[in-house]
Structure 1
């Protein structure tokens, strides 16, 4: 057959329906070739997004069921929406194209947007990420289909493959911008801990000779287990859906009626748990030392998390550790008060969390008096410590300050029948409940906070620290109560609970969070060490562990390799100057204190957290450009109680405010700070702060993988990379006598802060005398 003469070009197809052509036929006419690949890419991307969203909103039926349900629902919705959009577009005159692909693009983009928006990613960021994700998915599918289709020419194939490589590189960079940012924080490993101890790293670069100003911990590593064998068991309702609190519970507890505090309990929540407000269960995991009692009691309570993803088992590492040290530890189950995507969260849940803790104390008292239980005669109800994480960290403080919320509640055990000696809060919340916040008096308080916490990213425990006071203060003698805080570089929120893991946000938002610089094992080592030492001091009466709270460097041989900021004050602290109320300097010179500055701007102002919200306490902000000084003098000589051997210390808290310098170079770490003291005879001696400790620069918190877009998350939640945190410095007065034997450490008439190396800005607070 010979070649035929080319005929006329086919007529261009009209944009309206042709005779005999169905509307559905036209709807899919443009979705041919690579566009089918684009549809497949959108379907896969949408399925992945739906699966991630369902993992962040578990139903309680298990991950396989959740994923299958999510992908099935997505497939049906994707098909229906794409079909409807393609059909609707056929009504637009003179319009042609891949209508079904457009429908799939709109559906997938909307799905991803709402998943991100309801994960608190913010409107603008959710929109940007949804557009980028859906376009990348459609582009990948289109390019793959174009590259590997049989009819594709060589030139088009190579161009498609090159475009795929470039797109993959762009996606990889978007997933982790740090690939091109070598200045992001380094990762720490547990293997670094030993070398850090040898090299002096865990002590944050202290100056030579600085170790002489703190007492080394002589008790050994507090995070190591003790000598007690222990038993582990549970108590519960006996009918709970979870076997450990249901048919496998060793002890049966009585349900409690919380209807006075709990009004909203949706039917879906009742169906899931099998109970309502009038029959809330008292469930607990117990680790009990073997041997003769009575043993001090430690209650541990989790915070808010998906209620279907149970949280109480995540503190087994603490329960086992404390039981091995001779303490009865109970991890309290309050999962039924947690948030659910499907049934919300109960109103006033903070009050309920605290109330449930108090009901557990009552239940344990009953067990302690019942000879048929393993608790019989084993619980020392006069030595109780409460430990809480996140919302649980606020709940334990509220339970200790019970009269503010539960005064007159006859269902609670009388406050005279037990004694809460100490409170420990891990990354706590600090919300206002009924217009009030807990205030602790004569109760020891410890709070731990990670600098890279993506959930509670402000150090709220610092506020409760300020609201913890002691009536026995001012004696200058070693006291029985104290408060302490620890701020940990590289630590996040969830890794303090073994079951919560690395992500501080549920999926899909959690996908954008950076892996914490400090491994989970290291975080839990810190928690074990500090909480063990805290219990040994407050419940066990072993003062040998006190140096850890006075100065974290005392345990630098045992702490994981990272940087720390710690704050401490005992009930024996004698305040020379505080900056709240009538003690403020220089706002209230009538208090007998006067301040004089030279080359320094001094202002009493409120301390601010990471998001620049007030912490409820004030300090003295000092700012200097090059050098200067600030001196405080008292109208009368202040007796420090220190003998000639200097067994007392000048103590003060200082925070780095260099983030306020707005682009000027300056950090407390590079500043030269000298402390001058004047005694009753007018003898003045000045020593460098570096003889005692080296101030640290602010800890940068790199929370997400979003780089410059990080500030758009949740209305700027992560906009500020730094939080100024107070570090307590304790300087033995004997050092001034060593510098000048004529100096009398038992009396002081003035303190000078001599400053250079600016521009720098700092805040001072809690200046006084501490036992040493």
Structure 2
């Protein structure tokens, strides 16, 4: 009896479920079909964007098509399962539509979350976008079913809604608009800025030279993806075993490349000048990009320019060390990157001994420069300071068989490797960084710059250039305009970027001038590194900040100690009417120390800061009116924004806002030990421009949450080097004796204001 009852009850339940499931889609007719179609289109767009940001190496058409196909199947299955659950529960709703809506919301949330948007913003935007798409689909479905009069009403309503949306959109703060504000503002800043009007002191370094050159490749000959490194390679190179530095080569990585860490290829693109030689050489290496999107061909514009000037160039392939969505990235990849650069030097040395090789007798291995971009910039510095990491590696070329004269770092990283960072000695150094770099938002080249020194006081020098409207990727022609892979690149979009060709022109000007100066002893370009304004019309219109120091620089104060009254041994300091003055570390956008201390000076109305030079007769014995006072100063007036938030008086707020946007009024006074002095305004030499403010996202309210707060602070203080010839002070007061110079005072006018001062010293003129 019980068994019969259970069978009957089971049949009844089964019949009820079958009946409910039979009408699963009946409520999804009519306008609801439009909602489902709109949600499907939205998910396809999201998946396509994600697929383009996680390439398989089979090509974008395959990646996008496969992503859309998988999404379509996933949406169908998920929507049916959700609809089935709703039907079983007896919910009288359009079940497939609800299932599609939930699937869309979850998919969008996952895409946004892994775009580093943060869980709150991801939840908000995924829900809003899914509901908006469903609403648009419903509207389209309704319009399709209306008669002519109803259709006109619907179209009118849609037009009104579109107008309101456009009005709201245009009313958003300009800084959030993609590509909006900033283009005209940048031009206006330059037009009003501190640009020298006199003609340049030298010819345009970005113009090609007189050398013809030849392009070719060397490679293992086994590359699975590029013929120029495969069967079409002009020279066959060796494979090298990097297993001492890599121990986690992923299986998928081996399948993609066809080799593992024990057989890394030495692949290079070469631009070789025609002629007898021997020529100096620049080895260039890319940074970390998506492994499947090859990076090594992105510096051809630099290779061709250098070769035309009689400098051989090689772009090194290290794509197999880069990140992949599918196989990650090798642990501790920085040492292999630097190690491979030295293995390339060894390979080139071997070629140079082969009479049939195009390298035979044509390379001067005593004149080598290393150029790196991003992680490549750190790898170049590490290779130049190889004894810090590779002393025990007998497989590298002997250190006395070559000489690295220079390092060029384009937006470099600066991470610790084995608890150490590179420190260059008597090696010339150049670094370039964009203020709108959305990958490496901090100026890490500034830290590398601070660790370059010249103990031998030779002809080496160091220089840096901070470029307001430049980003990370545009230094490489293969990386595109965005610094972030899709879909994150949809949201992280700094405004008013320089055009790619302009940014690369800046690289051409500085890299070519630097290489010619260091490798070819071309002295004409030295003024460029000391003052960017000497380039005249060669540089695109934007703001620049440059630092410079050479082996002749005599340091007077570095502010490294804890006692603010002792800026350096042999000097004392005092302040008058300053609201704050202390020795502190310069900070990056995240508030982290750059490991470079300076003196912070802040004033409300006006104030002064004086450094007295004890034993000045010893420290300045060689100084004369041809000598040049040098110091680095960062205008930090934008930090006054914190005071604005706490200020209630409109006049005070207006004064603070004005101070944030205008150059500082500073006067410099030099006094000798007899009391003779001369005082000159700083803007006679160069204006103290406000620090650069950068907004990295166009959606309002997400700066502080996207990428775990990476873009929270809109500014990073960056130093500008100022040069004040002592002859100018002598002209202002002939009684002032530079050789008996005893003190220096900064007078700050028209407050409020805030600066950071570092590296105060002098060099001989002439």
Q: Is the 8 A contact 2:182 2:496 kept in 1?
A: no
Are 2:644 and 1:655 aligned?
no
Q: Distance in 1 between matches of 2:443 and 2:130?
A: 37
Q: Is the 8 A contact 1:298 1:329 kept in 2?
A: yes
| 276 and 171 in structure 1: CA distance in 2 versus 1, 3 angstrom threshold | farther
Q: Deviations over 1:33-67 (max 9, x none)?
A: 21111100011110111111010111111111111
Q: Deviations over 1:462-485 (max 9, x none)?
A: 011111111034xxxxx5111111
Are 2:734 and 1:741 aligned?
yes
Offset of 1:139 from its aligned partner? 1.4
Q: Which residue of 2 aligns with 1:63?
A: 60
SS in 2 for 1:708: coil
Q: Give 1:717's match in structure 2, choosing from 702, 710, 714.
A: 710
What aligned pairs does 1:467-616 form with structure 2 within 5 A after superposition?
A: 467-473=451-457, 479-512=458-491, 513-514=493-494, 516-581=496-561, 586=564, 588=566, 591-600=569-578, 601-616=580-595
Q: Distance in 2 between matches of 1:167 and 1:486?
A: 45
Higher relative contact order (CA 8 A, sep 6+): 1
| 674 and 19 in structure 1: CA distance in 2 versus 1, 3 angstrom threshold | closer
- RMSD (Å) for aligned C-alpha atoms: 2.5
Q: Distance in 2 between matches of 1:484 and 1:516?
A: 26
Q: Is the 8 A contact 1:37 1:144 kept in 2?
A: yes
Q: Is the 8 A contact 1:579 1:619 kept in 2?
A: yes
Q: Which residue of 1 aligns with 2:255?
A: 271
SS in 1 for 2:751: coil
Offset of 1:589 from its aligned partner? 7.0
Q: Give 1:370's match in structure 2, choosing from 354, 369, 373.
A: 354
Q: Deviations over 1:604-655 (max 9, x none)?
A: 01100122111011100000000111111022224436665x2211000001
Q: Distance in 2 between matches of 1:180 and 1:524?
A: 25
Q: Which residue of 2 aligns with 1:205?
A: 194
Offset of 1:116 from its aligned partner? 2.1
Are 2:332 and 1:339 aligned?
no
Offset of 1:710 from its aligned partner? 2.5
SS in 1 for 2:703: helix
Offset of 1:26 from its aligned partner? 3.2
SS in 1 for 2:207: coil
Q: Distance in 1 between matches of 2:690 and 2:397?
A: 48
Q: Is the 8 A contact 1:202 1:560 kept in 2?
A: no
Q: Which residue of 2 aligns with 1:40?
A: 37
Note the residue ranges of structure 1 that are not aligned, 5 or more in a row. 1-15, 474-478
Q: Which residue of 2 aligns with 1:629?
A: 608
Q: Give 1:381's match in structure 2, choosing from 361, 365, 368.
A: 365
Q: Is the 8 A contact 1:240 1:246 kept in 2?
A: yes
Q: Distance in 2 between matches of 1:412 and 1:168?
A: 67
Q: Deviations over 1:134-158 (max 9, x none)?
A: 12211111111111225x6845762
Q: Distance in 2 between matches of 1:495 and 1:590?
A: 41
Q: Which residue of 1 aligns with 2:47?
A: 50
Q: Distance in 1 between matches of 2:717 and 2:205?
A: 28
Q: Which residue of 2 aligns with 1:236?
A: 219
SS in 2 for 1:621: strand
| 172 and 103 in structure 1: CA distance in 2 versus 1, 3 angstrom threshold | farther
Q: Distance in 1 between matches of 2:17 and 2:678?
A: 103
| 249 and 161 in structure 1: CA distance in 2 versus 1, 3 angstrom threshold | farther
Offset of 1:167 from its aligned partner? 5.6
Q: Give 2:210's match in structure 1, choosing from 227, 231, 250.
A: 227
Note the residue ranges of structure 2 that are not aligned, 5 or more in a row. 1-12, 645-655
Offset of 1:170 from its aligned partner? 3.6
Offset of 1:357 from its aligned partner? 0.7
Q: Distance in 2 between matches of 1:299 and 1:310?
A: 17
Q: Distance in 2 between matches of 1:161 and 1:409?
A: 76
Q: Which residue of 1 aligns with 2:82?
A: 85
Q: Is the 8 A contact 1:56 1:508 kept in 2?
A: yes
Q: Deviations over 1:491-545 (max 9, x none)?
A: 1111111111111000011112245521000000000000001101111111111
Q: Is the 8 A contact 1:451 1:701 kept in 2?
A: yes
Q: Distance in 2 between matches of 1:395 and 1:34?
A: 59
- TM-score under structure 1 normalisation? 0.91
Q: Give 1:321's match in structure 2, choosing from 305, 324, 333.
A: 305
Are 2:166 and 1:166 aligned?
no
Q: Is the 8 A contact 1:675 1:687 kept in 2?
A: yes
| 643 and 180 in structure 1: CA distance in 2 versus 1, 3 angstrom threshold | closer
| 71 and 374 in structure 1: CA distance in 2 versus 1, 3 angstrom threshold | same
| 171 and 373 in structure 1: CA distance in 2 versus 1, 3 angstrom threshold | farther
What aligned pairs does 1:274-353 form with structure 2 within 5 A after superposition?
A: 274-353=258-337
Offset of 1:354 from its aligned partner? 0.7
Q: Give 2:743's match in structure 1, choosing from 726, 750, 753.
A: 750
Q: Distance in 1 between matches of 2:67 and 2:352?
A: 48
SS in 1 for 2:141: helix
Offset of 1:119 from its aligned partner? 2.4
| 168 and 456 in structure 1: CA distance in 2 versus 1, 3 angstrom threshold | farther
| 518 and 256 in structure 1: CA distance in 2 versus 1, 3 angstrom threshold | same
Offset of 1:132 from its aligned partner? 2.0
Q: Deviations over 1:689-734 (max 9, x none)?
A: 1111111122221222113322221122112111110000000000
Offset of 1:744 from its aligned partner? 0.8
Q: Distance in 2 between matches of 1:627 and 1:136?
A: 55
Are 2:245 and 1:261 aligned?
yes
Offset of 1:405 from its aligned partner? 1.4
| 176 and 249 in structure 1: CA distance in 2 versus 1, 3 angstrom threshold | farther
Q: Distance in 2 between matches of 1:82 and 1:698?
A: 52
| 673 and 168 in structure 1: CA distance in 2 versus 1, 3 angstrom threshold | same
Q: Is the 8 A contact 1:676 1:752 kept in 2?
A: yes
Q: Which residue of 2 aligns with 1:249?
A: 233
What aligned pairs does 1:139-178 form with structure 2 within 5 A after superposition?
A: 139-150=135-146, 154-155=149-150, 158-159=153-154, 162-163=157-158, 166=161, 170=165, 177=172
Q: Distance in 2 between matches of 1:247 and 1:21?
A: 63
Q: Is the 8 A contact 1:648 1:732 kept in 2?
A: yes
Are 2:416 and 1:448 aligned?
no
Structure that is richer in helix per residue:
2
Q: Is the 8 A contact 1:671 1:760 kept in 2?
A: yes
Q: Give 2:28's match in structure 1, choosing from 31, 51, 55.
A: 31
Q: Deviations over 1:175-207 (max 9, x none)?
A: 9956697996432799x8xxx9xxx9489325x
Q: Is the 8 A contact 1:702 1:721 kept in 2?
A: yes
| 482 and 179 in structure 1: CA distance in 2 versus 1, 3 angstrom threshold | closer
| 173 and 228 in structure 1: CA distance in 2 versus 1, 3 angstrom threshold | farther
| 585 and 537 in structure 1: CA distance in 2 versus 1, 3 angstrom threshold | farther
Deviates more, 1:66-75 or 1:21-30: 21-30
SS in 2 for 1:651: strand
Q: Which residue of 1 aligns with 2:648?
A: none
Q: Which residue of 2 aligns with 1:6?
A: none
Q: Which residue of 2 aligns with 1:9?
A: none
Q: Give 2:599's match in structure 1, choosing from 603, 615, 620.
A: 620
| 81 and 410 in structure 1: CA distance in 2 versus 1, 3 angstrom threshold | same
Q: Distance in 2 between matches of 1:561 and 1:389?
A: 23
What aligned pairs does 1:406-425 form with structure 2 within 5 A after superposition?
A: 406-425=390-409
- TM-score under structure 2 normalisation? 0.91
Offset of 1:24 from its aligned partner? 2.6
Q: Is the 8 A contact 2:176 2:695 kept in 1?
A: no
